[in-house]
Amino acid sequence: RQLFRSPSVPGSVSKPVLKWGQPSDKDSPVKAKRQRRVAGTPGQEASVEPVGDGEVCLEPSQSAQLEKIENLLANDDQELIGDFSKPHLLPTVEGKDPGLKYISPDTLAAVLTGRFSSFVESSIIADCRYPYEYEGGHIKGAVNLPLQREVEEFLLEQPIVPLDASKRVIVIFHCEFSVERGPKMCKFLRERDRSCHEYPQLHYPELYVLKGGYREFFFQFPSHCEPRDYRPMEHAAFKEELRKFRGQSR
């Protein structure tokens, strides 16, 4: 297990403020499991060299040992980020789509207040609501990305990469309730990101969805929102904007 897992312990952080000017990920845990090698580095096979007395080596003939390790890896696959390099950093909660990783409003607040700065270089909050919703109140530092082309332009045309290779870039998606628009955009980014790379490499291997969306976050942490308000998608004063953006989203 320790061959493939790197421990992650929350630290303290300052989140950079970013301003903005479809089926679920088809990665198969079994496929990913088979692509990883049983050795100290990814491309090395298990060695057949003899070892000292009392120690056990992994040889191709020892199918039982290999099967045991494969089973351990299979059990851990759902906890690894998209390129299978390490476990997810943020604690997750159960959500509607089992193929996505959900975080609670408390966890997002911890990210915003710097609790994970030792491990996270950039945390991008992708607000997938329509512009009139965003303007009526949004999480501080969130980027308004309601359309797929805007997600591609902002995140893929010039990918955001960590300057410190030991740190992470994480992307957190949400919409009003994080039931439809946010999860769909999270899946879209993963699919487009996959298409740009040789499997399993990714620009953004660590994606999350904010459970409960902006509505839940605002009621729990209004001080992290600007302006301190919540404008619902079906606001009576914005029926025409809703019709327009729904048409663009199709």
pLDDT score of 101 more than 60: yes
* pLDDT band, very low/low/confident/very high, at 230 (cuts 50, 70, 90): very high
Predicted pLDDT at 67: 60
Taking only the tens place, the pLDDT of each residue in 111-134 is 999 999 999 999 999 999 999 999
Note the pLDDT of residue 12.
37
Which segment of 51-55, 163-167, 242-246 scores lowest on mean pLDDT? 51-55
CATH topology of domain 92-248: Oxidized Rhodanese; domain 1 (3.40.250)
Is the pLDDT confidence value at 226 over 80?
yes
Query: 78 is written with which tokens?
Result: 């759902």
User: Looking at the DSSP assignment, which residues form a beta bridge with residue 103?
Assistant: 210
Antiparallel, parallel or unpaired: β 138-139 and 225-226: antiparallel
DSSP state of 40: S
| β-bridge pairing 207-210 and 102-103 | parallel
The contacts of residue 51 (CB under 8 Å, 6+ apart) are 57
Is the pLDDT at 157 greater than 50? The verdict is: yes
Predicted confidence (pLDDT) at residue 52 exceeds the cutoff of 50? no
Looking at the DSSP bridge assignments, the partners of residue 226 are 138
Other Cβ atoms less than 10 A from the Cβ of 58: the count is 16
Residue 58 pLDDT greater than 50, yes or no = no
Active site residues: 175
- Tell me the per-residue pLDDT of 67-93, one tens digit each, with 9 for 90 and over: 644 554 555 455 899 999 999 999 999
Per-residue pLDDT band at 247 (split at 50, 70, 90): confident
Q: How far is CA 156 from the centre of its chain?
A: 15
Instruction: Quick: pLDDT tens for 134-149.
Output: 999 999 999 999 999 9
Q: What is the pLDDT, as a whole number, of residue 83? A: 96
Smallest CA-to-CA distance from 225 within 154, 145, 151, 127 is with: 127
Q: Which pLDDT tens digit goes with each residue over 185-206? A: 999 999 999 999 999 999 999 9
Nearest to 32 by CA among 65, 95, 96, 77: 77
Q: Above 60 in pLDDT, residue 1?
A: no
Find where tokens 């993963």 sit. 190
| Domain ranges across the chain | 92-248
Average pLDDT over residues 151-179: 97
Q: What percent of the chain has pLDDT over 70?
A: 68
**Cβ atoms within 10 A of the Cβ of 191, count?**
14
- For helices 105-112 and 213-220, what crossing angle results, to 10°? 70
| pLDDT band of 57, cuts 50, 70, 90 | very low
| 3-class secondary-structure state, position 64 | helix
Say how far apart CA 21 and CA 138 lie, in whole Å. Answer: 15
In which band, very low, low, confident or very high, does the pLDDT at 39 lie, cut at 50, 70 and 90?
very low
This prediction has a pTM of: 0.71
pLDDT at res. 71: 53
Asked if 103 and 202 touch (Cβ cutoff 8 Å), the reply is no
Among candidate residues 249, 238, 230, 6, the one with its CA nearest the CA of residue 137? 230
d(CA 49, CA 176): 57
Query: Which ranges constitute the DSSP H helices of the chain?
Result: 29-35, 63-76, 105-112, 131-135, 148-151, 181-195, 213-220, 239-249
The Cα–Cα gap between 134 and 119 comes to 29
